[in-house]
């Protein structure tokens, strides 16, 4: 009897595997046909694609294989659509300029993110917003963001950004209409996130610089000499060679020298107020 039950269980497992494989092959053919009709590129598997992102659904999923991968452009935006095995379908749209600030929008019924650097900002409609920089996220969440969250299909449970990419997730049971709507929604969010501060790479300042030559703009950035610090010889009046020989004028010149020497000490007070300012 136990042998018979084991045989039945083995046959049932084989049937389930066959059905699952048939469904996967059928889903792959459907996506391949959809990609070809849209003019996109289709790839059956990609072992390295899942390791490109690490937030939301992609957290600790870099060991999984991306299947039924579609790459293309829609309205000038580069995107990638793939299945994360049996977990979810992912849509990723690339922005021209990346940012260090990441934003996460997810349905209220979805569990909060486990990333330690993502902080809760608040709720917008049916979604909750998390961000790595709350002050910047407040400026991004304007009326456009409110209108956007109201138009996102409920099948897209998560939307988030990572560097140059804006991503969204939907169930693996989605169809071509859901894929089109997801690409449109993620592309719209990507356009809104163009206002995020760009990544500043200090290494870019050292590219193609010859150490033997001055840096561009060095002459412009060199401070102009302060008239207060100019040599005293330039500020003192030139000596009078044709001074009168009379004894009385000579006595007057000798009496006036202390006054002339005091003048350079009185000039910096007036000149300093116009050229040197306190640092804010």
C-alpha 239/C-alpha 105 separation (Å) is 79
Q: How many CB atoms lie within 10 A of CB 144?
A: 13
Q: At what angle do helices 2-38 and 176-192 cross, to 10 degrees?
A: 60
* pLDDT for res 161: 96
Total count of residues recorded for the chain: 280
Q: What pLDDT was estimated at residue 199?
A: 84
| pLDDT for the residue 238 | 53
Report the pLDDT value the prediction gives residue 85, as an integer from 0 to 100: 82
- What pLDDT shows up at residue 269? 41
Q: Is 190 exposed, middle or buried (0-12, 13-18, 19+ CB in 10 A)?
A: buried
Angle at 194 between CA 189 and CA 200, to 5 degrees: 135
What local confidence, expressed as pLDDT, does residue 254 receive?
42
Torsion angles phi and psi, residue 69, rounded to 5 = -85, 130
Q: Which residues of the chain have pLDDT under 70?
A: 3, 5, 7, 11, 13-27, 201-280
Q: What pLDDT score does 192 carry?
A: 94
Do 113 and 107 touch, CB atoms closer than 8 A?
no
Q: Is the dihedral of CA 171, 177, 181, 187 positive or negative?
A: positive
Whole-structure pTM over 0.85, yes or no? no
In degrees, rounded to 5, the angle at the alpha carbon of residue 221 between the alpha carbons of residues 217 and 223 is: 150
């Amino acid at each position: 009897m136990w042998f018979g039950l084991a045989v039945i269980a083995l046959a049932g497992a084989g049937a389930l595997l066959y059905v699952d494989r048939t469904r996967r092959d059928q889903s792959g053919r459907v996506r391949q046909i959809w990609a070809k009709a849209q003019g996109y590129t289709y790839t059956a598997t990609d072992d390295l694609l899942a390791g490109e992102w690490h937030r939301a659904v992609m957290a600790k999923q870099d060991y999984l294989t991306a299947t039924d991968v579609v790459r293309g452009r829609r309205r000038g935006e580069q995107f990638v659509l793939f299945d994360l095995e049996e977990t979810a379908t992912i849509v990723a749209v690339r922005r021209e300029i990346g940012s260090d600030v990441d934003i996460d929008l997810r349905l209220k019924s979805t569990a909060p993110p486990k990333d330690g650097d993502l902080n809760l900002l608040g709720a917008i409609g049916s979604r909750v917003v998390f961000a790595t920089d709350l002050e910047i996220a407040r400026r991004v969440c304007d009326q456009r963001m409110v209108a956007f969250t109201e138009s996102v299909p409920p099948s897209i449970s998560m939307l988030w950004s990572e560097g140059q990419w804006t991503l969204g997730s939907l169930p693996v049971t989605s169809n071509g209409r859901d894929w089109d709507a997801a690409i449109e929604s993620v592309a719209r969010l990507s356009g809104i996130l163009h206002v995020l501060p760009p990544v500043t790479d200090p290494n870019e300042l050292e590219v193609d610089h010859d150490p033997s030559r001055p840096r561009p703009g060095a002459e412009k950035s060199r401070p102009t000499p302060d008239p207060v610090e100019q040599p005293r010889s330039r500020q003192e009046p030139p000596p009078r060679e044709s001074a009168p020989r009379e004894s009385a004028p000579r006595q007057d010149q000798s009496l006036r020298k202390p006054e002339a020497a005091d003048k350079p000490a009185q000039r910096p007070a007036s000149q300093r107020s116009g050229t040197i300012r306190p640092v804010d």
